[in-house]
A and B are shown apart, each in its own frame.
Chain A
Amino acid sequence: MATEFKHKDIIALRDLSKDEIELLISTAESMREVNGRAIKKVPTLRGKTIINLFYEASTRTRTSFEIAGKRLSADTVNISPSTSSSTKGETLADTALNLLAMKPDIIVMRHAVSGAHYFLAKKVGCSVINAGDGAHEHPSQGLLDLLTMKDRFGRLDGLKVAIVGDITHSRVARSDIQGLTKMGSSIYLAGPPTMMPPGVERLGNVTVCSTMKEAVSDADVVMMLRIQQERQGKTLMPNAREYSRYFGLNPENLKWAKPDAMVMHPGPINRGVELSSYVADGSQSHVLKQVENGVAVRMAMLYHVCGGELAE
């Protein structure tokens, strides 16, 4: 593959070309070899400093980025809002400039405001990687979803992918829509109309379905999104019970999909709400495979924003 990765930052899959996405996935595939070794470490990013700046709580993504950095021999530092200056009223720009003064090579940030990373990237000279911004994008999740699908099907074109849940508030859905559309697959969305953002069908190769059955029927992949009571508030749905009845995935309605369809979920799962335990722990579930691939994908992202050069 002749593609060069020329971006300083990775903020959104929307900003990447198909070739660049393929390059990241193929690099992630080769990074997996490291993760299978007895000594899971290569010197690729030796001497590089990575700051994981997490303004929103995260276990999976932050840990995954931290492990990815360490396996590449980078020095990683974690900062979370409860221990940072943000509680003292410091602006994002000031926090970033102060961190920058300590000469990091990469800032990996999660922030509640959509687009905050573009603002950060304008302020700092180092690389910025988006670990989730508001309801905008979550590119590392999008890439690990693509890698997990590729593992199963050997390709990323011509797939029918159902995404079910709160599309409005989902940065995962937006990154998946961008990535899957660029790779040539089709996305079918289902969810209560209160959680379906206007014009979403214009973001890519997207069909908005009126029922879950319509979206899931003959799907190769069924991606279930986490339902969060704190996000959906009181006005978007009656309660988890009714939501689960119409938009939860269980062994019965999974039969609408292709017999060997993959079940995916970005986590953390609300068991019994959007995903029944029988499905989450069943043979068609690829949820833990997604998590495993997350480390490799994040290694690839860190590697490429550093110029893709080896330290050896």
Chain B
Amino acid sequence: MNLLIKGGRVIDPSQGLDDTLDVAVENGKVKEIGPGLAAPAGAEIIDATGRYVVPGLIDMHVHLRDPGLEYKEDIVSGTKAAVAGGFTSVVCMPNTKPCIDNKTVASYIITKAATEGCCNVFPVGTITQGMAGERLAEMGELKEAGCVAVSDDGRPVRNSELMRRALEYANGIGILVISHAEELELVGEGVMNEGVTSTELGLKGIPRVAEDIATAREVMLAEYTGAAVHIAHVSTSGSVQIIREAKARGVKVTCETAPHYFTLTDDAVRGYTTNAKMNPPLRESADVAAIKQGLKDGTIDAIATDHAPHHLDEKDLEFNAALNGIIGLETSLPLSLGLVREGVLTLHQLIEKMSCNPAKILTINRGTIEIGSVADITVIDPVKDWTVEAATLASKSKNSPWLGATMTGAAATTVVAGNVVFNGR
């Protein structure tokens, strides 16, 4: 399909572009960017006046639950939620059933996404076989099958020797290791951040140092082996500082945070709200400030959602029994635009963290709309006010702490490889 996206504010940090321009798309590729372009033959015209036109957003941390846990989400519903949130690519974590520790599962996901999904799906394989933390997974074949990284997300590799070898082996293959950084002994049976709120509610706390120690270990192993490591969902001020210092020393470390870590504190748990239960847990205001500072100064490279769909039956429970995680694909963009409204990030920085940087970190051929590139484009309405309602969320699961909240900003049009896959709610 051919398109002409007219009169929007085109922002593409990959080529230092920020101007009111037209974007012409032909045969799924960006053909031309400039003022007053003529429409390609048979092109659909999209009026982007007052809107941002940016390289398609990439969420590098998503749980699609397919195969095996389709009652929570599947590739169809998950990618629908993605494009509704403005994402043209999602990177899905391997804790499916079976998990993505072999090329067959990886191929199933890639094939199903290509035939039934609405956006690009890049799977992450496991670090260890069965995510059991004992033997390395077949990373070579996982990469050949299309995996863009490896991670035992949700089940950190406890054994430091094994993690060292995983980094070395992955580095040799040229695949990135993503770490869910938590020291599990310190997490224990904790269910929320350890602090005055956990004390008041009588809930077992998870201390920040559980994350800090694990982040420090990964950074030190990366430094020692010379391999790259990516720290998932950074939530503490300590982790931000450890990564900042490591980057200054030249360690090949990158990291992401999630919108809930820069918008909510553990106050959201009051009332034993299970939609505020996730791992790592919501922290305190000093951590929120540190996360914002880390985003601002470039310590934190990417914003990813950790979109973690769970069925109502797994959330509508007493607090300890409820599963960890919240959905995030459809609320990430407005919450992240909030950082621009607050003056934490420039628009340019925001698009880097939601598109260019994830593409660079994962070395995927996305995150740009330079001429000739795949036409993955997100058109953003920055001022649209809308209410988060369970009934209108595309995700199968509705476990969001923002149900009923008003958001400002939304995807107006989402274009994947030149096809309009979402055109507003």
The 8 Å CB contact of A113, one of B200, B316, B318, is: B318
Contact A91 B317 (CB under 8 A): yes
Whether B317 and A197, one on each chain, are in contact in the complex, defined by CB atoms closer than 8 angstroms, is no
B201 near A92: Cβ-Cβ < 8 Å: no
Task: Please give me the residue from chain A that is nearest to B316 by CB atom.
Answer: A93
CB–CB B202/A137 < 8 A: yes
- Name the A residues within 8 Å of B250 (CB-CB): none
Task: Select from chain B the residue with minimum beta-carbon distance to A120.
Answer: B318
Assess the B318–A92 pair: CB atoms within 8 A.
yes
Find out whether the CB atom of B317 lies under 8 angstroms from the CB atom of A115: no
Given A135-B202, A136-B201, A136-B202, A113-B195 contact (CB < 8 Å) = no
CB-based contact B272/A118 at 8 Å:
yes
Segment 44-102 of B: residues with Cβ below 8 Å from A: none
Question: A114 to B316, alpha carbons, bound, how many Å?
Answer: 15
A200 touches B199 (CB 8 A): yes
Q: Are A119 and B202 in contact (CB under 8 A)?
A: no
CA distance A113 to B195 in the complex (A): 18
| Beta-carbon contact of A198 and B318 below 8 Å | no
Residue of A91, A116, A119, A199 near B199 (CB, 8 A) is: A199
Of residues 188 through 219 on chain A, the ones whose CB sits less than 8 Å from some CB of chain B are: 197-200, 202-203
The reply to whether the CB of B205 lies closer than 8 angstroms to some CB of chain A is: yes
B202 touches which of A93, A133, A199 (Cβ 8 Å): A133
Closest to A138 in B: B202
In residues 117-176 of chain A, which contact B (Cβ within 8 Å)?
Answer: 118-119, 133-137, 168, 171, 174
Interface presence of B271 (CB below 8 A)? yes
Compute how far the CA of A111 lies from the CA of B203 in the bound complex, rounded to whole angstroms.
13
| Interface size classification for chain A | 20 to 34
A199 surroundings in chain B (CB, below 8 A): 195-197, 199-200
Q: How far is the CA of A171 from the CA of B202 in the complex (A)?
A: 7
Q: Which residues does chain B contribute within 8 Å of A92, judged by CB atoms?
A: 317-318, 321
Q: Does B235 contact A (CB under 8 A)?
A: no
**Residues of the A chain whose Cβ atoms lie less than 8 Å from the Cβ of B319:** 113-116, 119
Partner of A115, one of B194, B196, B272: B272
Contact with A along B307-324 (1 / 0, CB 8 A): 000000000111111000
A-contact 0/1 string along B173-204, CB 8 Å cutoff: 00000000000000000000011111111111
Distance in angstroms from B203 CB to nearest chain A CB is 5
Q: How far is the CA of A168 from the CA of B195 in the complex (A)?
A: 11
Closest to A135 in B: B202
Residues of A within 8 A of B196 (CB): 198-200, 202-203
Collect the chain B residues with CB atoms within 8 Å of residue A115's CB.
201-203, 272, 318-319
* C-alpha gap A235/B192 in the complex (Å): 20
Interface residues of B in 287-339 (CB under 8 A from A): 316-321
Closest to B204 in A: A135
Among A114, A133, A134, A197, the one with the most B-chain Cβ atoms within 10 Å of its Cβ is A114
Q: Are A197 and B198 in contact (CB under 8 A)?
A: yes
User: Least Cβ distance of B421 to chain A in Å?
Assistant: 39
Assess whether A198 is in contact with B199, with CB atoms less than 8 Å apart. Answer: yes
* Residues of chain B lying within 8 A (CB to CB) of residue A171: 202
Note all chain A residues with C-beta closer than 8 A to B321: 92, 113
- Report the nearest B residue to A200, measured CB to CB: B199
Q: Which residues of B contact A91 (CB under 8 A)?
A: 317
Q: When chains A and B are docked, how far (Å) is the Cα of A168 from the Cα of B204?
A: 9
- When distances are taken between beta carbons in the complex, the residues of chain B under 8 Å from A202 are 196
Q: Beyond A118-B271, A119-B272, A198-B205, is A93–B199 a contact (Cβ under 8 Å)?
A: no
Chain B nearest CB, measured from A12 CB (Å): 9
Instruction: Give chain A interface residues in 68-121, CB to chain B under 8 Å.
Output: 91-93, 111, 113-116, 118-119
Q: How far apart are the CA atoms of A223 and B204 in the complex, in Å? A: 23
Name the residue of chain A whose CB is nearest to the CB of B313: A91
Closest beta carbon of chain B to A196's beta carbon, Å? 9
Q: Are A114 and B201 in contact (CB under 8 A)?
A: yes
Tell me which residues across on chain B come within 8 A of A198, comparing CB atoms.
194-196, 198-199, 205
| A179 CB, min distance to chain B CBs, angstroms | 14
- Identity of the chain B residue whose Cβ is nearest the Cβ of A91 in the assembled complex: B317
Q: Report how far A116 CA is from B319 CA in the complex, Å.
A: 7
- In the assembled complex, how far is the CB of residue B184 from the closest CB belonging to chain A, in whole angstroms? 15
Query: Which residues of the other chain, B, contact A197 by a CB distance below 8 angstroms?
Result: 198-199, 205
- Across-interface contacts of B203 in A (CB, < 8 A): 114-115, 134-136
Q: Given A114-B203, A203-B200, are A119 and B317 neighbors across the interface (CB < 8 Å)?
A: yes
Contacts of B201 in A (CB 8 A): 114-115, 136
> How close is B287's CB to chain A, nearest CB, in angstroms?
14
Q: Which residues of B contact A135 (CB under 8 A)?
A: 202-204
Residues of B within 8 A of A116 (CB): 318-319
Report how far A91 CA is from B314 CA in the complex, Å: 11
Interface flags for B271-283 (1: CB within 8 Å of A; 0: not) read: 1100000000000
- Point out which of B272, B316, B320 has the most chain A C-beta atoms below 10 A from its C-beta: B272
Inter-chain contacts of A134 with B (CB < 8 A): 202-203, 320
Inter-chain pairs besides A114-B320, A136-B203, 14 sampled, C-beta below 8 Å: A93-B316, A111-B318, A114-B203, A114-B272, A115-B318, A118-B272, A119-B319, A137-B202, A197-B198, A198-B198, A198-B199, A200-B199, A203-B196, A203-B199
* 29 A-B contact pairs sorted by A residue (CB < 8 Å): A92-B317, A92-B318, A92-B321, A93-B316, A113-B318, A113-B319, A113-B320, A114-B201, A114-B203, A114-B320, A115-B201, A115-B202, A115-B203, A115-B318, A116-B318, A116-B319, A133-B202, A135-B204, A174-B200, A197-B199, A197-B205, A198-B194, A198-B199, A199-B195, A199-B197, A200-B196, A202-B196, A203-B199, A203-B200
Give me the 8 closest cross-chain CB pairs, A-B, nearest first: A199-B196, A136-B202, A115-B272, A135-B202, A114-B202, A197-B199, A116-B318, A113-B318
